[in-house]
Amino acid sequence: MPLRDFHGKVVVVTGAAGGLGRALCFRFGAAGSRIVALDRDAASLTGLLADLQEAGLTATTEVCDLSREEDCGRAIAATIQAFGGIDVLVNNAGITHRSAFARTQPEVIRRVMAVNFLGAMQCTHAALEALLARRGMIVVISSVAGFAPLIARTGYAASKHA
C-alpha cells in the first residue's frame, strides 16, 4: 500500500509547542506540508515557529486554548483564510492529572475533559466543512488510558476513552 503524500497539504496540529506535537510539526513539515501549530503557550509557539522556519519549513502559529470554543473557531478560521482550507487536523493536545478520584476536585476532571475531549471536538467541528471539501483527514492521538485504566488518572482515562 503506498504511503500518503503530504506535500503541499495544510496540516493543523494542536498541542504543537512541545513533545509529540512539536515532533509532528517537524515530520509533516519534512514531508512538504504547510504547518499550522496551535497551542496556548505563546512563548513556546514563538520558539517552535523560529525552529521550523530555520529548518526551511513553511509554518504559522495560532495561540489557542482548546477549552475555549471561540479560540478553536478563531484559529481554524484564520487557518482557512491564510491557506484556503485544511487537509489534515491532528488532535494531539492533551493534559493529565494524577490523584485518586476521592481526592480529586471535580474541576480538575472538568479541565481535563475540556482540553482532551471537548477541545478535539471543537476543533474538529470548526474544521469539518474545510476537511470535507478537500477530502481531508482527522487524526486523534489517544493513549493506552483510552482502553485500559491507569491508576490515579480517572479523568484522564475518561477523556481518552471519550
Active-site amino acid positions: 156
How does 54-92 read in b/e, with b if 16+ C-beta sit within 10 Å?
Answer: eeebebbbbbbbbbbbebbbebbeebbeebeebbbbbbb
